[in-house]
């Protein structure tokens, strides 16, 4: 594929965070029911989260967006969930939220997609039109995801590792926006819209797994790719290969599914079961399940910041190989065990309470 990075200003080195909500994706917990409703809690930080971490320059993106003659209204599906693909660019609000932009407004204001998936007209903030990568730390707020027996919550581990991945990617010259930077909940539909708004090279949803106690001689790493997407499959395969190269160093009593690897899971319609893969499309997306937080030995291993750094480095190496080589990756499971279709993941947002945006 064409390397988008080559046509983007390398000076645009921005790491932005956002707060977010979410849903999940460990196979045992993801979208097995209606997406959780979101009572969004206030960000733990109320300052702008536009960062220039480890970079020497910050974005100079214009703060103006086109103001159409007829202002767009947010469009919803029959279930009341906003349709993905309605925004262009994000506004990082003065209160630190990353808000997909529906339209510019007079006076420098913007009509935005709120964390709960509604529209709001707000002032202030900073506009960002694109990013090389959107990182999605899974779960958050009232949705802990998996919780290890030692007490480590997946939402916190996902965020910690995502921050390390962000810093490593920024250090390698890429711009990164995160769907959340604090312990807050953001519906999947909104996380996906941030990808639509920024059109990154890839959307990476970071998770740790739970659900099996089947012992394995090797790690149970799972990298889920979008169905029938060669680019998503190849990136997932490279992420799998590099992650295994890290984890295989450790002598740990691993657990794994018998068909763990670089894999996929269909829904009843033949599309992607997981919302973090289905909703960002056509943006390339991969769902990363590094290891099993539900296995105490693995919980202890991935709690180690040194190991977290190694996983972050593995992601950067995989990304660079994806962009600069034709390496195919590995671990491909072409006929995964059928585990049910489940519901389609409606992304319910109707009783979500939006945070203060301006």
Residues at the site binding Zn ion, with contacts judged by CB under 5 A: 24-26, 138, 145, 207
Closest distance between Zn ion and the C-beta of residue 339, in Å?
16
Q: Which is nearer to Zn ion, 138 or 219 (CB)?
A: 138
Cα gap 116→102, rounded to integer Å: 14
Q: In angstroms, what is the minimal distance from the CB of 275 to Zn ion? A: 12
Residues 244 and 241: their CA atoms lie apart, in Å, by: 5
For the CA atoms of 104, 50, 289, 236, the dihedral, rounded to the nearest 10 degrees, stands at 70
Quick one: 99 or 239, whose CB is closer to Zn ion?
Answer: 239
Smallest separation (angstroms) from Zn ion to the CB of 28? 9
Q: How far is the CB of 84 from Zn ion (least distance, A)?
A: 20
Q: Minimal CB distance to Zn ion: which residue?
A: 207
Minimum distance of Zn ion from residue 30's CB (angstroms)? 7
Per the CB < 8 A criterion, the answer to whether 58 and 126 are in contact is no
Give whichever of 207 and 278 is closer to Zn ion, judged by the CB atom. 207
Tokens of 310: 């190694």
DSSP 94-121: TTS-EEEEEEE-GGG-EEEE-TTS-EEE
DSSP code, position 244: H
Considering the complex, state which of residue 17 and residue 138 has its C-beta at the smaller distance from Zn ion: 138
The 3-state DSSP class for residue 271 equals coil
Query: For residues 289 and 223, what is the distance between their CA atoms, to the nearest angstrom?
Result: 6
The angle that helices 230-247 and 305-324 make with each other, rounded to 10 degrees, is 140
Task: Specify the residue, 196 or 207, whose C-beta has the smaller distance to Zn ion.
Answer: 207
320: helix, coil or strand? Answer: helix
Show Cβ contacts of residue 322 under 8 Å, excluding neighbours closer than 6 positions. Answer: 202, 234, 235, 238
- State which residue, 25 or 120, has the beta carbon closest to Zn ion: 25
Q: How far is the CB of 204 from Zn ion (least distance, A)?
A: 13
């Amino acid at each position: 594929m064409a390397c988008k990075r080559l046509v983007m200003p390398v000076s645009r080195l921005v790491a932005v965070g956002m707060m977010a909500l979410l849903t999940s994706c460990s196979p045992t917990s993801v979208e097995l029911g209606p997406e959780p409703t979101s009572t969004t809690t206030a960000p733990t930080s109320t300052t702008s989260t536009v960062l220039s971490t480890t970079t020497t320059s910050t974005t100079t993106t214009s703060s103006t967006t086109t103001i159409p003659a007829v202002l767009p209204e947010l469009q919803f599906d029959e279930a009341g969930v906003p349709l993905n693909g309605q925004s262009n660019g994000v506004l990082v609000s003065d209160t630190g939220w990353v808000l997909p932009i529906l339209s510019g407004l007079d006076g420098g204001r913007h009509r935005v997609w709120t964390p709960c998936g509604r529209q709001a007209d707000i002032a202030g903030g900073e506009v960002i039109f694109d990013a090389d990568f959107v990182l999605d730390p899974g779960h958050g707020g009232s949705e802990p995801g998996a919780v290890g027996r030692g007490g480590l919550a997946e939402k916190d581990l996902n965020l910690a590792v995502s921050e390390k991945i962000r810093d490593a990617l920024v250090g390698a010259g890429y711009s990164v926006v995160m769907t959340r930077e604090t312990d807050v909940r953001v519906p999947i539909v909104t996380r996906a819209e941030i990808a639509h708004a920024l059109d990154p090279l890839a959307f990476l949803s970071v998770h740790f797994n739970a659900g099996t106690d089947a012992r394995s001689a090797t790690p149970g790493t799972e990298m889920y790719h979008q169905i029938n997407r060669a680019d998503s499959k190849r990136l997932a395969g490279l992420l799998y290969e590099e992650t295994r190269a890290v984890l295989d160093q450790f002598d740990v009593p691993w657990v794994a599914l018998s068909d763990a690897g670089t894999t996929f899971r269909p829904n009843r319609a033949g599309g992607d079961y997981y919302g973090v893969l289905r909703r960002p499309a056509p943006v390339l997306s991969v769902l990363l399940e590094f290891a099993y937080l539900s296995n105490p030995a693995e919980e202890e291993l991935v709690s180690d910041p040194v190991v977290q750094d190694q996983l972050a480095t593995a992601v950067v190496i995989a990304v660079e190989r994806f962009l600069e080589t034709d390496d195919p990756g590995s671990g491909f499971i072409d006929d995964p065990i059928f585990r049910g279709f489940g519901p389609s993941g409606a992304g319910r947002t109707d009783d979500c309470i939006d945070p203060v945006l301006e």
